[in-house]
Amino acid sequence: MSEPAGHRCRICTGTPVPVHSFGMQPIANAFRPAAVSAADTYRFELAVSVCPQCGTVQLIDQPDREQMFHGEYAFFTGTSRAMTEHFARFAAWVRDEHLRGDDPLVVEIGSNDGTLLANFQQWNIRHVGVEPSANVARAAQARGIPTEVRFFDADAARAIVATHGQASAFIAANVMCHIPYLHSVVEGIDLLLGEDGIVAFEDPYAGDVLAKGSYDQFYDEHVFLFSLHSVAAVFARHGFELVDVQPQMTHGGSMRYVLARTGKRTPTAAVREYLDREVAQRITDPARWKEFGRRCEASKQALVSLLRDLKAAGKTVAGYAATSKSTTILNYCGIGPDLIAFISDTTPIKHGTVTPGTGIPVVPRAAFGPPYPDYAVLFGWNHETEIRAKEQEFVAGGGRWIRFFPDVEIVS
């Protein structure tokens, strides 16, 4: 699955223009014990390109999917209370606005530990999850959520139709942007969905990344960074159109895309509005993304010099939340245990591991304090509200957060 520079667009026939490289990077979620991690030399170049023809922002090279999604996948949706609540609202919206007929079926891909589908289970609405990472899939199965342990594509769709029949809703969150063979996925959606069915999925939004400079949305799993323009381009080839879009606060700025078979529903005004905004933002313009790359370089220099200054001043600095996104930042900036002593995280399987490629120990929340470090780099910045609410004592005692988007700054 690795393409040389000057690769073909995964969506159309265009030749994407390379816009920025974040250097050699490990697998973002490869949180492993120090000895195992140090022996793992796997690296790929995290470089971004933009297709001048369809406007899709994509990675030039992506590791093989089995390197990323397997039986020791480290991310469990249920670890975030805010995401659990978000998904309860997502599920209720699907049920209230889009489920028609007597016995509708909802299919979710990237269903992980079943956090979103658990809502449909509670309402006795038929549901099936598709999740290739066996450990998180087993967690869903253990709570009684039917889950196919496989990668979703056109073949998987045929198998689901054969067993469960057609679906009324195809839903997904933070997974469509992970799948390089997107045309097979949309072909699968076409096979799976009834005539009047809807597709609703959420992913980090290119518009937010451009506006905030939040380059940590780029890591191995995220092969695409979608905009309305690119989503419309993919689905148009399979007879679907955007009928609504709804911006979300999750993951530092996401978009919910709602699609239906062309002509089946009247698109909302929001679709036109966001398409126009994207044109004004030059979201499909490689030159605009090259400017973004220069902003990333400046941000890197600001963060590294701040951490060096704090070290020189004898301050203690920890990290907060060992996110997949932090892997891009740490490796791009070359930040290791000399500048950040440890990172606290609530996910049990990350404890006793180190950050991929940079060797910073990941420890349970209890190690964060008291006693607290002087400063904490907020790697889980997309969970800021939830984290700040929990960590008022850190700030009350004089602790300070270090934020890096939109600018590197110290905040209380």
Catalog residues that contact ligand SAH under the rule CB under 6 A.
69, 73, 75, 77, 83, 109-110, 112, 130-133, 136, 151-152, 173-175, 178-179
- Residue 346 interaction partner, one of ligand TMP, Zn ion, ligand SAH, none, beta carbon < 5-8 Å per kind: ligand TMP
The answer to whether 330 touches 355, Cβ cutoff 8 Å, is: yes
Quote the CA–CA distance of 108 and 174 in Å, as a whole number: 11
| DSSP 8-state symbol, 2 | B
Quote the CA–CA distance of 215 and 108 in Å, as a whole number: 27
- Residue 98 interaction partner, one of ligand TMP, Zn ion, ligand SAH, none, beta carbon < 5-8 Å per kind: none
Q: Closest separation between CB of residue 324 and ligand TMP, Å?
A: 4
| C-alpha of 55 from chain center | 20
In the range 246-305, which residues lie near Zn ion by CB under 5 A? none
Q: How many CB atoms lie within 10 A of CB 191?
A: 16
> Is residue 80 part of the contact set for ligand TMP (CB under 6 A)?
yes
- Residue 53 interaction partner, one of Zn ion, ligand TMP, ligand SAH, none, beta carbon < 5-8 Å per kind: Zn ion
Among 383, 394, 401, 408, binds ligand TMP (CB under 6 A): 383
Choices 58-66, 142-150, 294-302, 379-387 (CB under 6 A): range interacting with ligand TMP: 379-387
Nearer to ligand SAH, 108 or 278 (CB): 108
Q: Closest separation between CB of residue 11 and ligand SAH, Å?
A: 16
Structure tokens at 144: 């009684």
Among 55, 115, 91, which Cα is nearest to 279's? 55
**Start-to-end C-alpha separation, the chain:** 44
Among 90, 325, 327, 372, binds ligand TMP (CB under 6 A): 325
> Is residue 355 part of the contact set for ligand TMP (CB under 6 A)?
no
**DSSP E strands, 138-216:** 147-148, 167-173, 193-204
Quote the CA–CA distance of 199 and 189 in Å, as a whole number: 8
Nearer to ligand SAH, 91 or 317 (CB): 91
- The secondary structure of 333-375 as a DSSP string is HT--TTT---EE-S-GGGTTEE-TTT-PEEE-GGGG-SSPPSE
Choices 1-9, 185-193, 383-391, 395-403 (CB under 6 A): range interacting with ligand TMP: 383-391
- Residue 354: strand, helix, or coil: strand
Q: Closest separation between CB of residue 152 and ligand SAH, Å?
A: 3
CA angle 173, 407, 333 (to 5 degrees): 80
Q: Torsions phi, psi of 406, nearest 5?
A: -70, -20
In the range 45-84, which residues lie near Zn ion by CB under 5 A? 51, 53-54
Structure tokens at 26: 């490990």
Choices 53-61, 190-198, 238-246, 382-390 (CB under 6 A): range interacting with ligand TMP: 382-390
Choices 131-139, 205-213, 285-293, 381-389 (CB under 6 A): range interacting with ligand TMP: 381-389
Quote the CA–CA distance of 145 and 129 in Å, as a whole number: 7
In the bound state, the residue with its beta carbon closest to ligand SAH is 110
Binding site for ligand TMP (CB under 6 A): 75, 79-80, 321-325, 345-347, 350, 380, 382-383, 386-387, 390
